Amino acid sequence: MITYSKKAINMCTVSYLPYQNGFILTSSRDEKLVRPVARLSDPVMIHDQEVTFPKDPLGQGTWIATSKTKTVCLLNGAFTAHLPKPPYKHSRGLVVLDVFDYFSIGNFAANYDFSGLEPFTLLLIEKRRLLVLRWNGKRLFMADKDASIPHIWSSATLYAPEIIEKREDWFKKWLNSQDNFSLENIRKFHKTAGDGDLENAVFMRRENLYATVSLTSVVQTRDQMEMIYEDLIHSKIFQNKLSLAYASN
């Protein structure tokens, strides 16, 4: 039996909202408080694309990245908690950046070598397509989600199934309370949703060792892609904007 350890790290809660002919994707990152702080990079060229992302100083990868045409977000674990079996080929955070080496998210899913990697879930958005990939360490599972409706995901390695279901209920109640979606309101949800149990709240904290350390949103509208990265430990907000004027449709 696999337990949901209070010492699990580098996990996320991610929400997706359709918004102004585009979307808002927001990721709460749960981490060790002693882990070096990630920094929002200036746009980096990857396969002729400007890509912006918060860079993890340890793994040199990231959990969320965006270009003019693609957005990618990582959650650790596939469907259920797993027992780590290192050594692994490389950090899962590098997979996020590897996506931008491929012509499309479909081409990435069909051709990337996932062998030797620890289980994860990858959310990929491109041209109004929302694709969810789950790698369980042996097999890849792919599912297209309806990009016209909201969704929420929680890392399977940190949250038990009943907690994930409870979080989905919080999200549904929040959706029912909204007349219009906004960046401000969904970020407020990520900071306040819960029932008093701080260990399993969306803005979580466990034993003063692990906590939600950052909140990152990607906002795509007709003309612009913007990433907003908030360091919740040091109360700092950083933003990068990418014009979509020359992005292909």
| Mean residue pLDDT across the chain | 90
Asked if residue 10 has pLDDT above 60, the reply is no
Measured at the CA of 214, the angle between CA 211 and CA 217, to 5 degrees, comes to 140
- How far is residue 20's CA from residue 15's CA, in Å, rounded to a whole number? 16
pTM score, whole prediction: 0.92
The predicted pLDDT at position 12 comes to 87
- Helices 183-192 and 161-176 cross at an angle (nearest 10°) of 140
Asked if residue 21 has pLDDT above 60, the reply is yes
Range with lowest mean pLDDT among 99-103, 122-126, 157-161, 189-193? 157-161
- How far is residue 133's CA from residue 139's CA, in Å, rounded to a whole number? 10
Q: What is the pLDDT of residues 38-54, one digit of tens each?
A: 999 889 999 989 999 99
The predicted pLDDT at position 81 comes to 66
Q: Which CATH class is domain 11-243?
A: alpha beta
| Sole residue written with tokens 């700092």 | 236
Structural contact between residues 8 and 158, judged by C-beta atoms closer than 8 angstroms = yes
| Sole residue written with tokens 């080929």 | 89
Instruction: Please give the structure tokens belonging to residue 155.
Output: 């890392």
Asked if residue 245 has pLDDT above 80, the reply is no
